[in-house]
Structure 1
Amino acid sequence: MNTRTPLAPLAVATALALTFPAIAAGDAQSFVDKAAVGGLFEVNSSKIAIDKAKDRNVKDFAQKMIDDHGAANAKLQTIAGEQKLKVPAELDATHKSDLEKLQNSTADIDQPYVQMQRSAHADAVNLFRSYAKDGDNAGLKAFAAETLPTLEMHQDMIEKIAASGAGKPAAADASTPAVKSASTPKPAAPVPGANSFTEDQAKSRIQDAGYTDVSALTKDDQGIWRGQAKKDGKSTQVALDYQGNVFAGAD
């Protein structure tokens, strides 16, 4: 396990870390599917970050993901095999797309990699917490419970890296800071930037702004979630940028 110093004070020597896609799994096979795909994505995306990231903390975090996931993925494979469950060997379309964006980027990848990790770890904690509590398979339920504290530790690590400035989206201009506060004026249009909102989080944020029937959400190449919704009985296009600003009729 990698113990290079800026991350060493946060490391737990025996920990196995996983970060996974999307929220809670309803049954054993669904949990295995999400866990395995997440594990593959972590290893593959972190290999790219090792080669292309510039920030030392980001590189060290990526190396830790690679080191930990070899053992963690093997453990999941063993448990799933014992339960006669299939383990996906390839990424799903969403994660393949994210991986290609990192691989093909000619710009600094520290920002998108960190934001992907923040979003993935938020989902991972929800996934494992849910299955550890209500899972339908004793072996996988124990695995989820044992792994959850490590996931929470890794989530703390990536949040500290983000807070230190690594991977923080740049402001659109001097009057629009990267981190939106209550005193930040709303920009006139969606602000491009690495968007860490998941689709469910984006939908919830738009609904909180007073919209209903939110649908067809997709994230464009500027990190802006776009879709359809209704407000006051009228259909409209909506957009959500990485700062959480919601816009109607945004093209």
Structure 2
Amino acid sequence: MKNSLRWASLSVATAMVFALPALAAETAQDFVTKAAIGGMFEVQSSKVAQDKLQDQSLKDFAQKMISDHGAANAKLESIAGEQKLQVPSDLDSPHKADVDKLQSAAAPVDASYAKMQKAAHDDAVSLFEGYAKDGDNAALKSFAADTLPTLKMHQEMIEKVAASASASDSTTPAVTNTDATDPAAPVPGANSFTEDQAKSAIEKAGYADVSALTKDDKGIWRGTASKDGKSTPIALDYQGNVVAGAN
């Protein structure tokens, strides 16, 4: 009886050991679903962001995403069809939320787009590397291995431009107008500066202790700041002009 129990326990333990890799491995359908959603996100987010980007290297990157991932998506769909696997027709909720953020955000969106692309390509490289090594479908393993070098190239590209794009997104004026620099009063107009961008622009103009910033109905950021030890009302218009003493 004791021997029977020992053999039974050993059998259960052995079964658990051999079951673990199967639980951890990506299935063909899992891979298709994740790869397709990732590819769709690259294309959709890049199309939405393209006209809101200021950095030319990011604009070029976005166009490359549309082209490269569009082609990869079509190839994946073809292979999945041959393997009788389902390809999702739309993004999942987290990816859709990111696209919606880009859609609703005011330009420029360089830093946000670069951050999303960096995270997306980190995920994609990890997914494709794993499936190329341990995947359960020969055709999809080959696709993953063939696509991986392009994904790694994209990953390196976005790493190089992300830092400069972040700096651009936080300091570049929403609109540059050389015909109306340093006006006596802030110029009304649609203002795409965030509060942090407005504060940074005012500080670059030589002011400190910038506080109480709010954007009025004319698109002008207003608050208080100090210069030469004196506090003064301060304003920043959509062109990037900083005007002290403005009411």
- Is 1:151 matched up with 2:154? no
Checking the alignment, whether the CA contact within 8 Å between 1:113 and 1:167 is kept in structure 2 is no
Q: CA deviation at 1:52?
A: 1.0
* Unmatched runs of 5 consecutive residues or more in structure 2: 1-23, 172-194, 197-247
Q: CA deviation at 1:25?
A: 6.6
**CA distance in 2 between partners of 1:106 and 1:116 (Å):** 16
* Unmatched runs of 5 consecutive residues or more in structure 1: 1-23, 174-251
**CA distance in 1 between partners of 2:27 and 2:170 (Å):** 40
**CA distance in 2 between partners of 1:96 and 1:139 (Å):** 29
- Sequence identity of aligned pairs in percent? 64
1:129-188 deviations in whole A, cap 9, x for unaligned?
Answer: 00000000000000001111111111000001113x113575999xxxxxxxxxxxxxxx
Q: TM-score, normalised by structure 1?
A: 0.56
Q: Closer, same or farther in 2 for the Cα pair 1:42/1:130, shift >3 Å?
A: same
**CA distance in 1 between partners of 2:44 and 2:133 (Å):** 29
Residue 55 of structure 2 aligns with which residue? 55
Residue 166 of structure 2 aligns with which residue? 167
1:1-251 paired onto structure 2 within 5 Å: 26-163=26-163, 165-168=164-167
Q: CA deviation at 1:56?
A: 0.6
1:20-44 deviations in whole A, cap 9, x for unaligned?
Answer: xxxx971100000001111111111
Q: TM-score, normalised by structure 2?
A: 0.57
Runs of 4+ in 1 over 6 A off after TM superposition: none
**CA distance in 2 between partners of 1:47 and 1:116 (Å):** 14
CA RMSD between the two structures: 2.0
**Paired AA for residue 87 in structure 2:** V
Q: CA deviation at 1:108?
A: 2.2
SS state of the match for residue 167, structure 1? helix
Q: CA deviation at 1:82?
A: 0.5
Checking the alignment, whether the CA contact within 8 Å between 2:43 and 2:65 is kept in structure 1 is yes
Higher Rg of the two aligned structures:
2
**CA distance in 2 between partners of 1:36 and 1:138 (Å):** 18
**Paired AA for residue 84 in structure 1:** K
Q: CA deviation at 1:68?
A: 1.2
**Paired AA for residue 33 in structure 1:** T
Checking the alignment, whether the CA contact within 8 Å between 1:49 and 1:58 is kept in structure 2 is no
Checking the alignment, whether the CA contact within 8 Å between 2:52 and 2:107 is kept in structure 1 is no
Q: CA deviation at 1:49?
A: 1.7
Matched residue pairs, number?
Answer: 149
**CA distance in 1 between partners of 2:35 and 2:166 (Å):** 25
Checking the alignment, whether the CA contact within 8 Å between 2:36 and 2:88 is kept in structure 1 is yes
SS state of the match for residue 140, structure 2? helix
